[in-house]
Amino acid sequence: MNSKPPSMNGVAAAAAGAQPLIQYNIDWIFPMLRKPSRLWHIASTGVIGLVGFFSKIVIVWLNKARVHNIEVLENLLENRPKGTPLLTVSNHHSCFDDPGMWGLLKLRNVCNHNVIRWSMAAHDICFTNKYHSLFFMYGKCIPVVRGAGVYQPAIDLCIEKLKLGHWVHVFPEGKVNMTKEDLRFKWGVGRIIYETPVLPIIVPIWHIGMETVLPNEPPYYLRLGKKLTYNFGKPIDLNSVMERLRASPVSEEEARKIITDKIQEEMMVSWYFSLRVKFTSSDALIPVIAHGKFPIIKDIPTYLCQ
């Protein structure tokens, strides 16, 4: 297995070519997230409770959300065997996707810092100074340096949290997809799954309309009364894929690619397909999707999302 750099500076030094500039030193955050202190747990309880309740007010009470199959995730949060890792993956259309969509969960889950997800957040947006860093750190966010590759502390820490049986959320697109294009998923999700000893339960989530609640262009403030749609898919079964990878002489890089492509395929063909069919009586979509001709996301008719 390839050696992993211990810090952000190591990432920049080891990689070839230009690397993202890290204006604020985030190295001190990782030890605190890796072994949280009692003070961290107290502060995290407050931040998670506050943000979780606020998210529920905005998404459930002040906007119009249509939610499908959220019981899939709720059941896993409350009843999965102890020590079983949980990984959720979703599209990324707004900076309010996380924490916004977790407002759909029961209060006892969304406001519980022992239950709620770990999630990666862009270092150049969320971790720009000490106070922002403390807030997002207590909110169980892990600083990720976009463009620094799959071998960086953020990915390492996600794997460590899954090893402990925690819940980790990933945006495989790697950024806010403002144009809603069909982006190839980043291989970080492939590495996370491949290097977690116990295969996580993988739940796909698709949401539509979050960018209308918090737009991606000025003025940046939360909107009310918007129509939102959320679909929580059945867990993705990667057992056969993982068995083949373990038994075949493929490189780690190739394994990451195969896993990532499988995740993207399952999201597009399975739950993405089922979500769209829920809102149309036409069978015209079936042969189109079955042959892998995926329409651009931005071309989905608005009436399908209402």
DSSP string, 88-111: EEE----TTHHHHGGGGS-HHHHT
Q: What proportion of the chain, given as a percentage, has pLDDT over 90?
A: 72
Q: What is the pTM of this model?
A: 0.85
pLDDT of residue 291 exceeding 70: no
pLDDT tens profile 142-152: 999 999 999 99
In a domain, 10, yes or no: no
Chain centroid offset of residue 105 CA: 16
In a domain, 28, yes or no: no
pLDDT tens profile 115-142: 999 999 999 999 999 999 999 999 999 9
In a domain, 276, yes or no: no
Domain of 201, CATH number, reads 3.40.1130.10
181: containing domain:
38-265
In a domain, 251, yes or no: yes
Task: With beta carbons less than 8 A apart as the criterion, state whether 128 and 26 touch.
Answer: no
In a domain, 3, yes or no: no
In a domain, 286, yes or no: no
In a domain, 149, yes or no: yes
In a domain, 71, yes or no: yes
- Number of structural domains (the chain) is 1
183 band by pLDDT with thresholds 50, 70 and 90: confident
239 band by pLDDT with thresholds 50, 70 and 90: very high
Provide CB contacts within 8 A for 215, sequence distance 6+: 94, 223
Supply the pLDDT for residue 283: 43
